[in-house]
Amino acid sequence: MYIPKVNLSTDKSEIIEFMKRFSFATIITSKGNFPTATHLPFVVTTKGDQIVLTSHFAKANGHWQDIENNSVLVIFSEPHAYVSTKNYDKELNVPTWNYISIHAYGKGKLIIEQEKTFEILEATIDNYETEYRQNWDNFPEEYKLKMSKGIVAFEILLTDLQAKKKLSQNRTGTEQKKIIETLSNSKDTNEIIIAEYMKKNLTDK
* pLDDT at res. 14: 95
The single-letter DSSP state of residue 49 is: T
Q: Digits of tens for pLDDT over the chain (205 positions)?
A: 999 999 999 999 999 999 999 999 999 999 888 999 999 999 999 988 999 999 999 999 999 999 998 899 999 998 999 999 999 999 899 999 999 999 999 999 999 999 999 999 999 999 999 999 999 999 999 999 999 999 999 999 999 999 999 999 999 999 999 999 999 999 999 999 999 999 998 877 6
Report pLDDT for 205: 62
pLDDT for 17 equals 97
The residues, any chain, with a CB within 8 Å of residue 185's CB and separated by 6 or more, are none
Domain 5-170 has CATH 2.30.110.10: yes
* Calpha distance 197→202 (Å, rounded): 9
Closest CA to 158 of 70, 71, 75, 52: 52
- What residues form DSSP beta bridges with 158? 106
| All structural domains of the chain with their residue ranges | 5-170
Nearest-angstrom CA–CA distance, 98 and 3? 13
- Report d(CA 117, CA 148) in Å as an integer: 7
> Which pLDDT value is given to residue 186?
96
Amino acid letter, 177 = K
Output the pTM of the full model: 0.94
